[in-house]
Amino acid sequence: MVVVAIRTVIMYVTLIVAMRLMGKRQLGDLQPTELAVTLMISDIAVVPLQEQSAPLFSGIVPIALLAGLELLMSVIMMKAPKLARVISGNPIVIVSDGKPSWEAMRRLRMTVEDLIDGLRELGYFDIRDIETAIVETNGKLSVYLKRDKQPLTGSDMQLSLEDKPMPCVVMTDGELNQFGMALCGWDEARVNETLRKDRIDAKHVMLMTADASGEYTVIRKEE
């Protein structure tokens, strides 16, 4: 059992390193080459765990090789856009002026039900409201609404509104968030001073957000 546990931990770490090297895309955002490599890696990783007689390197080496090939392919595709289009394809307009393109649907082997389902998932229930819908290279739908169906903005109402800085998470569960603090221009001393001024102990903070203008929100843990 100890050997099994050690092999499992090693393969687990190997997979994490390989996936970190390949990037942070979600499964639904993977390009064809990335999806193929991900599926192959998942299958290869199982072999050394199921077959205790198989050398551990029989799983580590192929995984490292596949991750390296994926990195190499991503660099090549960045340098050669034509090759990237051949491998990943091009975005395809599937709805234009509220009407689906039968030719595009035929190329994508997509049914009307597939299209309507995809639009509903994005919150669009009437295809007539859509000016343009595009199927991206990762298979996801991007939608642009007709002008009279778009939400009102300040410029539409001829209002002069000041930009509001984006709030960032600076502390969660009593721990400082370095990325969030850097993003909004706060530092540890400022966070601690703010909490001290409000007489709040950091260990009692469930969530704290702040923005570049100095506004902040603190949510305490439940007593």
User: What is the C-alpha to C-alpha distance for residues 194 and 184, in angstroms, rounded to an integer?
Assistant: 15
154, part of any domain: no
The first and second tokens of residue 85, run together, are: 């289009």
Question: Is 31's pLDDT higher than 70?
Answer: no
Mean pLDDT across 81-100? 86
Residue 59 CB burial class (10 angstroms; 0-12, 13-18, ≥19): buried
156, part of any domain: no
Mean pLDDT across 29-54? 74
- For residues 194 and 143, membership in a common domain is answered with no
The first and second tokens of residue 173, run together, are: 């569960």
What CATH number has the domain bearing residue 99?
Answer: 3.30.240.20
Tell me the HSE value of 53 on the side-chain side, using a 13 A CA sphere. Answer: 0
pLDDT by residue (tens digit) across 194-212?
Answer: 999 999 999 999 999 999 9
The first and second tokens of residue 18, run together, are: 């390989």
Where a domain ends, among 86, 101, 126? Answer: 86
User: What is the C-alpha to C-alpha distance for residues 73 and 68, in angstroms, rounded to an integer?
Assistant: 9
- Amino acid identity of residue 116, one-letter, is I
Mean pLDDT across 170-197? 94
- For residues 41 and 19, membership in a common domain is answered with yes
Where a domain ends, among 59, 86, 113? Answer: 86
List beta partners, residue 93.
134
Q: Write the CA distances from 146 to 98, 109, 149, 170, integer angstroms.
A: 9, 26, 5, 38
- For residues 137 and 79, membership in a common domain is answered with no
Residue 25 confidence class, pLDDT cut points 50, 70, 90: low
Residue 92 confidence class, pLDDT cut points 50, 70, 90: very high
User: What is the C-alpha to C-alpha distance for residues 15 and 48, in angstroms, rounded to an integer?
Assistant: 13
- For residues 37 and 16, membership in a common domain is answered with yes
Q: What is the pLDDT of residue 4?
A: 67
158, part of any domain: no
How many domains in the chain?
3
Give the H or E element holding residue 48. helix 32-50
Domain enclosing residue 189, as ranges: 168-220
Question: Is 150's pLDDT higher than 80?
Answer: yes
For a pLDDT cut of 90, what percent of the chain falls above it? Answer: 45
193, part of any domain: yes
Q: What is the pLDDT of residue 136?
A: 87
pTM for this one?
0.65
Q: What is the pLDDT of residue 217?
A: 95
User: What is the C-alpha to C-alpha distance for residues 27 and 44, in angstroms, rounded to an integer?
Assistant: 18
User: What is the C-alpha to C-alpha distance for residues 95 and 43, in angstroms, rounded to an integer?
Assistant: 38
User: What is the C-alpha to C-alpha distance for residues 176 and 179, in angstroms, rounded to an integer?
Assistant: 9
50, part of any domain: yes
| Residue 119: how many other CB atoms lie within 10 Å | 21
